[in-house]
Structure 1
Amino acid sequence: MNLLDKHLSELIAPFHLTCEVNPSITGIATDSREVTKGCLYICVRGYTVDGHQYAEEAVANGAVAILAEEPIDGVEVPVVLLQDTKHAAGKVADLFYDHPSHKLKVYGITGTNGKTTTTKLTYDLFRAAGQKAGMISTIGAMIDGEMIDTPNTTPEAIILHRLLYQMVEQGVTDCVLEVSSHALMEGRVEGVKFHAAAFTNLTHDHLDYHASMEEYAQAKALVFKQVATSGGQAVILNEADPKSRVMEKAAEGVPVIWYATKALSEAPITVEWKEETVSVRIDGTVTEVPVFLLGDFNAANLAAAIGLMQAGNVNMYQLIRHIPELRLPKGRLEQIPFEGCEVYIDYAHTPDGLEKCLKALSVPGEPLYMVLSAAGERDRSKRAVMGRIAGQYCEGIIVTVHDPRREQPQQIIKELLVEIPPRKIITCHESRKEALQIAAKVALTGKRMVIVGKGHERFEQIGTEHVPFDEVKILTDELIRLSGQETAM
């Protein structure tokens, strides 16, 4: 017998529902293609797909019961009706997987920029402290050093609880979870018990999804409310960001650990960046250590990670000696290893993220060049702003697109160009690959180059398809080809 077997009645009991037929449930799924014999199929309405339309396929694949928001005709399995299956899925998954988040400590990290970096720094620090740790983030899931791919910044609820269950089974004690505003609004972390959560910052992004910055802040605040309602021990907040007060209010009654990046701050945790070192102050004790992290903004990410470690009751002073070992995640100010040129890639796709990236790479007397892009069918209001920022920091700009989806690339480029001084535009290309090839050519002339937008991702969203697209390989191949031609000459 599968240890996870439950009966349908157990899984719907929290919703005060009953069933006349009570089959044994051996699995749960929201994707009909993942249904196997004995599964409970949960019909969820997505942006482009309605799971109710695939109920018959799910039954044909072995589903023995269905949770839905409307009656399903033509199936011979019990159908239980709920008002909101998307949010119910997390609670059902929590029950099915025997409350995994109660058996380890889960640390949530949210904010506009810095989530992925803070998540990885926290995970690496936990491992350095000797803890068996897990991580779930944009760059994938890690279980004590083993990488597992995930489809979203925060996986959908069933996958998330399954990963937490897998971590418990493998002896993980601390899991660091990157939490996006979309995930919070769509119930992907429903049923998760948070030990603590950290807030990085709130800047212009996702206004295609949220009606205003205030609504965006309230979406982020949901995780701090969940910390409070699930018995969490602490929230870690950025003293420099005024929206931290929104998060503090949402976590009413939960102790706050404040962090900052200025030496004069009264926050109990400060990390001040000094280019090749950071000055770390924890409760009045100051230590200066070497660091391989670029920029003041990464000092803030490190400070947030230290706050989470403090919430995890790790010996902070022993931990400081591991800071020099820390590295940024893939695609975050990542330098492409190629002799004879200086090329970086970064995930920056918001005005604030872009400015922090360019500021970190700015060197007096050494002009910076870049590939600037924006995604299709996403917040259009930030495109001109990003163009203006690029023009402020860069001497030359190659303008292109990434993930156009169903939007016309020329429209995206047009909106990026609005505030870029014409003299700084090297070229515009609807083809990102061609833009990267030109960037490689420019870099080989001795120009410092940064390419933003995709970072670690290895695919492009063109139309409704996910098309393989390895930016690092394209760049490296072109650098090899061009430098080879130059050598032959």
Structure 2
Amino acid sequence: MNRPYKHLSELIALFQLTCEEDPIVTSIETDSRQVTTGSLFICVRGYTVDGHQYAREATENGAVAILAEEPLEGMTVPVIVLSNTKQAAGQIADLFYDHPSRRLRVYGITGTNGKTTTTKLTYDLFRSAGHKAGMISTVGAMIDGEIIDTPNTTPEAVILHRLLHQMVEQGVTDCVLEVSSHALMEGRVEGVQFHAAAFTNLTHDHLDYHASMEEYAEAKALLFEQVATSGGKAVVLNEADPTSALMAKAANGVPVLWYATEEASDAPIAVEWQEETVRVRLDETVTEVPVFLLGDFNAANLAAAIGLIRAGEVNMYQLIRHIPELRLPKGRLERIPFEGCEIYIDYAHTPDGLEKCLKALSVPDEPLYVVLSAAGERDRSKRSIMGRIASQYCEGIIVTVHDTRREEPQQIIKELIKEIPPRKIITCHETRKEALQIAAKIALTGKRVIIVGKGHERFERIGTEDVPFDETKILMEALNRLSGQESAM
């Protein structure tokens, strides 16, 4: 990859600023530990860390200039003061990397549930069509099949533009980007030009961050405003979700491609679930093809993906034949590969996501058991709702926690079980590993088990630390150890 560089004066000219010194900037960083000689260090205030506290360390590591929201005393390099460094970071990174989002087509996907699946389906369909594609999502970034880890659903702006630059350098033509409401509010996609964007749905989540569902919806709508200001070609909206009207309004005249999950709909794109097949309608053309995506809710995710593909330069009718090749992302209704038992893991962490997941696995006369959890220091209002939903679909519930951060596990459990009938509760465990081991015992007796909350993730957030935690590995170890032994159930 060509190593970019810019003079400091070029970067701060974005804000009509000048400085006496004009060093060459060879990288942009918001983490002082990543600073090397030639870096511009941007001080960003986060949830728990204030980058201003690390400005001196950045200069010691080789930073040639500092971007901050307040004057910094005793610095030996230029300090440029701006009112909002989070917003500025995206604009500066966009310029530093020579506007990478203008040199490929970027497709944004937002909504409460289905973002990751829709992102991967879109990415896979682009690749099936012969396009060199990139993907940036909760499960990581991919450049034409190569996996690159990312720290957030939507990486912070500097990393995002760096990834887009890397994709351009490697010849990527289409990049699919999962966009969270947090990313939109905090400027992580600042400077990105969107070719098109899709909306999946809006359901209860993140009310620890947003003051109301109305505010949450308005945050999502920021993506569609950005499509409009980018000169985007289309927005892809869910006919069944009333919040889509807000997204269409925010798009301000950008053409709307509506999608639906019923063939009888007037939407130009419809995907109707038929258990082992899907009926796909594009305008007046209807095709039925096999599908291996567990859960009828994935009809909507597939329809949204088809809408985004249609906004690209793809022969849609040839693409339909590739639908049978599609698979769900890791950690989405993923079956643990252990012979003789049926146990799944899923990322479901919202009421709507949990209900869809449990409904997809519900089979008459085959009881379902769930490991139910909630995260610490996150939307507490959804915990009891999730407990109620779990009790509606499941015969037995193992209650536990994940990502407790600095909240007491017992408090999380107390709120989860508030609306669960006591007869449904198998056990409560403050330690998630112990809950998984109980789940393994149950699965080995022939019961069907689903574990929700973590999905693909490979660490737990305990206190302020990220602790390695691989659910698949823990389950496989427990199943191997317990197989052949009589269950304690």
Question: Do the two structures share a fold, i.e. TM-score over 0.5?
Answer: yes
Partner of 1:133 in structure 2?
Answer: 133
Q: Determine the structure 2 residue equivalent to 1:369.
A: 369
- What does residue 192 of structure 1 align with? 192
Give the secondary structure class of the aligned counterpart of 2:345.
strand
Structure 2: how far apart are the matches of 1:483 and 1:4? 55
Q: 2:416 is matched by which residue type in structure 1?
A: L
Maintained 8 Å contact 1:261/1:296: no
Indicate the residue corresponding to 1:237 in structure 2: 237
Offset at residue 479 of structure 1 (A): 0.8
Partner of 2:25: 25
Secondary structure in structure 2 of the residue aligned to 1:136: strand
Q: Which residue of 2 aligns with 1:100?
A: 100
Shift of 1:439: 0.4
SS at match of 2:90: helix
SS at match of 1:77: coil
Q: CA deviation at 1:364?
A: 1.0
Give the corresponding residue for 1:35.
35
1:295 corresponding residue in structure 2? 295
Which deviations, in whole Å up to 9, do the C-alpha atoms of 1:338-373 show, x marking residues without a partner? Answer: 111100100000000000000110111111111000
Measure, in 2, the Cα distance between the counterparts of 1:291 and 1:5.
47
4+ long deviations beyond 6 Å: none
Does the CA contact (< 8 Å) of 1:388 and 1:420 recur in 2?
yes
Give me the CA root mean square deviation. Answer: 0.9
Structure 1 pair 415/368, CA: closer, same or farther in 2 (3 Å)?
same
SS state of the match for residue 324, structure 1?
Answer: helix
**Structure 1 residue 263: deviation in Å?**
1.8
TM-score, normalised relative to structure 2: 0.98
Aligned residues of 1:110 and 1:199 also touching (Cα < 8 A): yes
State the match for 1:286 in structure 2.
Answer: 286
Figure out how many residues of one structure are paired with residues of the other and give that number.
Answer: 486
Query: Which residue is equivalent to 1:273?
Result: 273
Matched residue type, 1:477: E
2:316 is matched with 316
SS at match of 1:134: strand
Cα shift readout 1:102-126 (whole Å, capped 9, x = no counterpart): 0000000000000000000000000
The whole-number CA distance in structure 1 between the counterparts of 2:482 and 2:162 is 47
Q: Matches of 2:291 and 2:276 in 1, distance apart? A: 6
CA distance in 1, matches of 2:10, 2:331: 44
- Classify the secondary structure of the residue corresponding to 2:419: coil
Mean Cα deviation higher: 14-23 or 99-108: 14-23
Establish whether residue 67 from structure 1 lines up as the match of residue 67 from structure 2.
yes
Once the two structures are superposed, residues 190-249 of structure 1 have per-residue CA deviations (whole angstroms, 9 ceiling, x without a partner) of: 000000000000000000000000000000111110000011100000000000011111
> Structure 1 counterpart of 2:187, which letter?
G
Deviation for aligned residue 1:484 = 4.0
What is the one-letter code of the residue matched to 1:199?
F
What does residue 354 of structure 1 align with? 354
Q: Distance in 2 between matches of 1:472 and 1:24?
A: 47
Contact kept in structure 2, 1:24 and 1:38, CA below 8 Å: yes
* CA shift for structure 1 position 408: 0.5
SS state of the match for residue 297, structure 2? helix
Q: Residue deviations 1:136-173, cap 9 Å, x none?
A: 00000000000000000000100000000000000000
The code of the aligned residue for 1:17 comes to L
Alignment deviations for residues 353-412 of structure 1 (CA, whole Å, 9 cap, x no partner): 000000110111111111000000000000000000000000010000011111000100
- For residue 418 of structure 1, give the secondary structure of its aligned residue in structure 2: helix
Normalized against structure 1, the TM-score is what? 0.98
Q: Which residue of 2 aligns with 1:457?
A: 457
Q: Secondary structure at the match of 1:445?
A: coil
In 1, Cα distance between equivalents of 2:366 and 2:334: 19
CA distance in 2 between counterparts of 1:486 and 1:326 reads 38
Match of 2:409 in 1: 409
Distance of 1:242 and 1:16 partners within structure 2: 42
- Where 1:270 maps in the other structure, the secondary structure is strand
* Equivalent residue number for residue 444 of structure 1: 444
The answer to whether the 8 A contact 1:347-1:456 is kept is yes
The unaligned stretches of length 5 or more in structure 1 are: none
Instruction: Name the counterpart of 1:9.
Output: 9
In structure 2, the residue corresponding to 1:485 is in which secondary structure? coil
Describe the superposition over 1:422-443 as per-residue Cα deviations: whole angstroms up to 9, x where unpaired: 1111111101101000001011
Pairing 1:334–2:329 present = no
Determine the C-alpha separation between the residues in 2 that align with 1:441 and 1:486: 9
Name the residue aligned to 2:218. 218
The code of the aligned residue for 1:337 comes to P
Contact 1:354 1:386 in 2 (8 A): yes
Given residue 171 of structure 1, which amino acid in structure 2 is its aligned partner? G
Give the conservation status (yes or no) of the 8 Å contact 1:196–1:311.
yes
The runs of 5 or more residues in structure 2 that have no matched partner are none
Displacement after TM superposition at 1:3 (Å): 5.0
Q: CA–CA distance in 2 between the matches of 1:47 and 1:455?
A: 24
Question: For 1:311-364, what per-residue CA distance to the aligned partner results, in whole angstroms no more than 9, with x for missing partners?
Answer: 002111100000000000000000011111100100000000000000110111
Letter of the 1:281 counterpart: R
Query: What is the CA distance between 1:16 and its match in structure 2?
Result: 1.3
Q: Which residue number in structure 2 is paired with residue 143 of structure 1?
A: 143
Distance 1:43 1:211 in 2: 27
- For the residues of structure 1 that align with 2:281 and 2:342, how far apart are their CA atoms? 34
CA distance in 1, matches of 2:262, 2:5: 53
User: Cα distance, 1:486 vs. partner?
Assistant: 5.0
Q: Is the 8 A contact 1:258 1:268 kept in 2?
A: yes
Partner AA of 1:175 in structure 2: C
